[in-house]
Chain A
């Protein structure tokens, strides 16, 4: 199949009503080609199809594009920000964490995850997936007590590191890769700090359960990460991958689930 026949570009809403465009469009529906929609198209849509107010029933991720990868990261940052916001915002935060050092740690991380979430929200604009609806019962269980919170924080942070380390190679634009790189090292700092807060050996911050014999950190492809998210029973919004990313560079080294 030639490149010409496998993609069309739709610059204006009116293009959809031109018979030649419509024929190409319908043909591409049948063969799974690429349909490019200029950004201006979004503003012309209305009603239920308006992507500036997306359907809250589903978050769709086209992982073949930088926007899709950013939406994937945005979904993860939403979860992390919600988790830490629930921790720090809980009425008993100071009771659960009597050590000011631990309160600083968790408050800092809350602040950073909120900044990450908001950066992606602004970067994605009208292409952003909806706010994810969370299961309040699961959230309550995740933040039940100090030990549970720190354990779940470790799991989240290691998973975040693995997700970014697996997704970076899918980004096609160096500017977007740099932004992801600015964030992943902060997630790694968080992971090390949380691990260290639960540790007395001095080795857990980058333990052998995350860093392998080559000195390489955890790494997971999106399908494995999303399966872990699903298993949490935390997200009520369904997350659908409409297009998988390119080849994996190597087999996953999964982020461990903290115990």
Chain B
């Protein structure tokens, strides 16, 4: 049952409650269900140890994660492998010689701070892949399972210019990162469970990956705006203005297929232009329109930028499937 606490009432309760509060660490120490390996993992600040221990202790040696968590983590792993293989191909460090060769033309123009950025991002994506596998996510995807032209194996898809044109490559990277941010956001609610330790641990880790993807997207926006001639819709604050294909801020004359792809990336059932947000106070739901908040500065543009929006799993699949040769779901 949700409870709402009347603050002045707490004036009277406060001393009684505070006498009886146990600290979080005490609670962990007293938790009979939490085994020594988990406690050690928590103490060592090692999420993989704690997570791995949780799955083993809670569900038995060799038993998979709960199905709801496993499904979300497997989905996340597929996206992370995609991102990691994409940046590895750009850097020429992919295990697939063909992928390295494909991006050779654009590689020479990825230099200086931009190169350092791509290396830093790739390092994180590789870490995400390793982390998700360490906590029980599984995938059979390898470097050669991807077609980064978006041609589903033809090698001549609408995004082929990313292998030769730096500005376009960065726009595609921005789209990939923003898709990642939106995908994790859309899955967070599936990780609440009963706010039990297993779900909370996984949810926290997912949120911490989610914000890293957002950092990536912001830096790519800034590179594009500062060095690659992107328009002002690509904000220096790294945020997303508006929604649909226009929010990508693509330059040049992108093909209809590319425009349609960006429309999926920044559109959807809850597009990035959405300003309506739903909250629940424990007894009632309320919809709030951020574009009509009091004291708002910067108008509707600011209202769209200030809140990132989720994608459903099906929407994410529709966006990324052209880049995966095997079917995904």
A interface residues, Cβ below 8 angstroms from B? 7, 9, 29-32, 34-39, 41-42, 45, 48-51, 54-55, 60, 62, 65-68, 70, 101, 104-105, 107-112, 114-116, 118-119, 122-125, 127, 129, 161, 164-166, 168-179, 181-193, 196-197, 200-203, 205-207, 210-211, 213-219, 221, 223, 240, 242-253
Q: How far is the CB of B87 from chain A (nearest CB, A)?
A: 13
* Chain B neighbourhood of A105, CB < 8 A: 236-237
Selecting from B159-167, B187-195, B321-329, the interface stretch reads B187-195
- Pick the residue among A35, A112, A178 that contacts B185 (CB under 8 A): A178
Q: Are B5 and A214 in contact (CB under 8 A)?
A: no
Selecting from B57-65, B100-108, B213-221, the interface stretch reads B213-221
Question: Are A112 and B117 also in contact (CB < 8 A) when A174-B192, A215-B127, A219-B204 are?
Answer: no
Q: 8 Å CB contacts to A: which residues of B1-50?
A: 1-10, 12-14, 16-21, 23-25, 27-28, 31, 41-48, 50
Q: Are A193 and B237 in contact (CB under 8 A)?
A: yes
What 0/1 readout, one digit per residue, does chain B (187-214) give for beta carbons within 8 Å of chain A? 0110010010101110111011111111
* Chain A neighbourhood of B306, CB < 8 A: 111-112, 115-116, 119, 183, 186
Most buried by A among B25, B114, B215: B215
A184 to B204, CA, bound (A): 12
Q: Are B290 and A119 in contact (CB under 8 A)?
A: yes
A221 to B7, CA, bound (A): 22
* Chain A neighbourhood of B305, CB < 8 A: 108, 111-112, 186
8 further A-B pairs in the complex, CB-CB below 8 A; given A182-B308, A184-B210, A185-B214: A39-B281, A50-B8, A101-B236, A105-B236, A174-B188, A181-B207, A215-B128, A249-B47
Q: Are B192 and A177 in contact (CB under 8 A)?
A: yes
* Chain A neighbourhood of B125, CB < 8 A: 215
Question: Are A108 and B6 also in contact (CB < 8 A) when A185-B308, A216-B212, A246-B200 are?
Answer: no
Question: Are A203 and B116 also in contact (CB < 8 A) when A190-B238, A216-B131, A246-B200 are?
Answer: yes
Q: Are A111 and B297 in contact (CB under 8 A)?
A: yes
- Pick the residue among B188, B195, B222 that contacts A178 (CB under 8 A): B188
Q: How far is the CB of A244 from chain B (nearest CB, A)?
A: 6
Q: Are B239 and A108 in contact (CB under 8 A)?
A: yes
**What is the chain A residue whose CB lies nearest that of B275?**
A115
* Chain A neighbourhood of B189, CB < 8 A: 174-175, 177-178
Q: Are B42 and A182 in contact (CB under 8 A)?
A: no
Question: Are A217 and B200 also in contact (CB < 8 A) when A32-B17, A32-B20, A118-B295 are?
Answer: no
Q: 8 Å CB contacts to A: which residues of B290-329?
A: 290, 293-298, 302-303, 305-310
Q: Are A67 and B8 in contact (CB under 8 A)?
A: no
* Chain B neighbourhood of A51, CB < 8 A: 6-8
Q: How far is the CB of A205 from chain B (nearest CB, A)?
A: 4
- Pick the residue among B4, B25, B130, B218 that contacts A188 (CB under 8 A): B218
Whether a CB of chain A sits under 8 angstroms from the CB of B284 is: yes
* Chain A neighbourhood of B8, CB < 8 A: 45, 48-51, 54-55
Q: How far is the CB of B148 from chain A (nearest CB, A)?
A: 21
Most buried by A among B27, B44, B212: B212
A107 to B18, CA, bound (A): 42
Q: Are B6 and A45 in contact (CB under 8 A)?
A: yes
* Chain B neighbourhood of A42, CB < 8 A: 6
Q: List 27 A-B contacts (CB under 8 A).
A: A32-B21, A38-B283, A41-B6, A45-B6, A65-B2, A104-B236, A111-B298, A111-B302, A115-B302, A119-B290, A123-B279, A174-B188, A174-B192, A177-B189, A189-B218, A193-B218, A196-B222, A202-B115, A202-B120, A202-B219, A205-B216, A206-B120, A215-B127, A249-B197, A249-B200, A250-B204, A250-B205
- Pick the residue among B12, B14, B18, B282 that contacts A65 (CB under 8 A): B282
Q: How far is the CB of B229 from chain A (nearest CB, A)?
A: 14
B interface residues, Cβ below 8 angstroms from A? 1-10, 12-14, 16-21, 23-25, 27-28, 31, 41-48, 50, 112-117, 119-121, 123-128, 130-131, 181, 184-185, 188-189, 192, 195, 197, 199-201, 203-205, 207-219, 222, 226, 235-239, 277-286, 288, 290, 293-298, 302-303, 305-310
Q: Are B7 and A186 in contact (CB under 8 A)?
A: no
- Pick the residue among A67, A101, A206, A210 that contacts B281 (CB under 8 A): A67
Q: Are B12 and A202 in contact (CB under 8 A)?
A: no
**What is the chain A residue whose CB lies nearest that of B47?**
A250
* Chain A neighbourhood of B286, CB < 8 A: 123
Q: How far is the CB of A47 from chain B (nearest CB, A)?
A: 10
* Chain B neighbourhood of A54, CB < 8 A: 7-8
- Pick the residue among A175, A196, A197 that contacts B285 (CB under 8 A): A175
A101 to B201, CA, bound (A): 39
Q: Are B219 and A249 in contact (CB under 8 A)?
A: no
